[in-house]
């Protein structure tokens, strides 16, 4: 074995070990969640803690699905996450295209403003958001929550999609204009198909953000029938006694839709992340 091949082998093993360590860090909480969800109350508080339950049971999942409002919370989260993502993309994709391809005086300040707004945590804006949504008479409604989510994520979406629009060769747009295509036709028929991996990656990021969001939903929603899944799982806890095995089962149920979404869009997601790695 030559020195170069030895170095490549060492680098490969070091990279593999590092990736495995990162994977373990991310997987351990999920595995512990599954372990808790398969235990009874005695198993949850058993000492020492056991990763593999001695008597695993699915009763917690059955109870969460049939005897609580978890399915309704799940439906609320699906509806809000999907609609908010569509609204975000509908507003962010045209804005990103204009900021990428058009040159006008306010372009620089707009990009700077979007970057600054993106850095502001929604937690800081909870009070003004509450006042604004209340004045719009959208408090305790899914419409108000969807508009708030979209407003928070649009700066991020515009910045990400703008980079993908920047990577599209200008010759394609010039050829389309010579053929008489309007800006709207160019955006819809040429740009969007070419940045499909970027749209998929942005969709997953936005879905994950909306699906797991807690603080804004907690402030803007009051009725239990309108709770999203994070708020609904939080409501399962009690000040005196909490069935943690039930909370764990409901939490894992909430993870399944996002895992399925990632599996279905994984190819486009990875393509979107690596689209700018190689210059065409």
pLDDT at 234 > cutoff 50: yes
Token couple for 61 = 């999942």
Q: Which residue has the higher pLDDT, 179 or 70?
A: 70
How many domains does the chain fold into?
2
Can you give the pLDDT at residue 280?
41
Tens of pLDDT, residues 68-94:
889 999 999 999 999 999 999 999 999
Residues 96 and 228 in one domain: yes
Q: What pLDDT shows up at residue 269?
A: 63
- The last residue of one of the domains, among 37, 57, 77, is 57
Closest Cα partner for 190 from 176, 200, 202, 179? 176
- Residue 188 is classified by DSSP as I
* Host domain of residue 167: 60-273
Same domain, 44 and 70: no
- Peptide bond preceding 201: is omega within 30 degrees of 0, i.e. cis? no
pTM reported for the whole predicted model = 0.83
3-state SS, residue 195: coil
- From its phi and psi, is residue 140 left (phi > 0), alpha (psi between -120 and 50) or beta? left
Which of 9, 26, 57 marks a domain boundary? 57
Q: Residue 280 falls within a domain, yes or no? A: no
Residue 187's CATH number: 1.10.3720.10
* pLDDT digits 0-9 by tens, 238-280: 767 788 899 999 999 998 888 888 777 777 666 655 554 444 4
pLDDT of 221 strictly over 90: yes
Position 59 pLDDT exceeds 60? yes
Q: Assess whether 114 and 45 both reside in one domain.
A: no
Distance in angstroms (rounded) separating the CA atoms of residues 23 and 53: 23
Range 97-102 average pLDDT: 87
- For 114-127, how does the pLDDT look when each residue is reduced to its tens digit (9 = 90+)? 888 888 888 888 99
pLDDT digits over 190-209, tens only?
888 888 888 888 988 899 99
User: Which residue, 41, 57, 73, sits at the end of a domain?
Assistant: 57
pLDDT for 88? 95
Mean pLDDT calculated for residue range 6-22: 89
279 in any annotated domain: no
Contact 37, 60 (CB under 8 A): yes
Whether 200 and 163 share a structural domain: yes
- 241 and 231 Cβ atoms separated by less than 8 Å: no
Average pLDDT over residues 54-62: 88
Q: What angle do CA 59, 64, 68 make, to 5 degrees?
A: 135
Confidence of residue 109 (pLDDT cuts 50, 70, 90): confident
Cα dist. 268→160, 174, 202 in Å? 15, 27, 10
If residue 26 lies in a helix (H) or strand (E), which one and from where to where?
helix 3-37
> Mean pLDDT across the stretch 50-78?
89
pLDDT tens by residue, 124-147: 889 999 999 999 999 999 999 999
């Amino acid at each position: 074995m030559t020195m170069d091949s030895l170095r490549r082998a060492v680098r490969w093993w070091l990279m593999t070990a590092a990736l495995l360590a990162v994977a373990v860090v991310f997987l351990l909480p999920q595995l512990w969640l599954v372990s808790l969800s398969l235990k009874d109350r005695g198993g949850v508080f058993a000492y020492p803690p056991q990763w593999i339950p001695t008597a695993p049971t699915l009763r917690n999942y059955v109870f969460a699905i049939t005897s609580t409002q978890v399915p309704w919370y799940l439906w609320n989260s699906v509806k809000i996450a999907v609609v908010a993502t569509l609204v975000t993309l509908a507003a962010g994709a045209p804005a990103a295209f204009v900021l990428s391809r058009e040159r006008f005086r306010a372009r620089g300040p707009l990009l700077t403003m979007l970057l600054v707004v993106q850095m502001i945590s929604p937690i800081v804006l909870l009070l003004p958001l509450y006042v604004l949504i209340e004045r719009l008479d959208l408090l305790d409604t899914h419409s108000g929550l969807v508009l708030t989510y979209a407003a928070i994520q649009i700066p991020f979406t515009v910045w990400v999609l703008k980079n993908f629009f920047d990577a599209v060769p200008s010759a394609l747009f010039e050829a389309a204009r010579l053929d008489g295509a309007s800006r709207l036709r160019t955006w819809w028929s040429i740009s969007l198909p070419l940045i499909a991996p970027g749209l998929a990656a942005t969709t997953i990021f936005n879905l994950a953000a909306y699906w797991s969001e807690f603080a804004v939903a907690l402030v803007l929603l009051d009725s239990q029938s309108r709770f999203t899944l994070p708020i609904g799982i939080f409501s399962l806890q009690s000040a005196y006694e909490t069935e943690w095995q039930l909370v764990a089962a409901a939490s894992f149920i909430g993870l399944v839709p996002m895992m399925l979404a990632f599996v279905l869009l994984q190819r486009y997601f990875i393509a979107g992340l690596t689209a700018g790695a190689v210059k065409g």
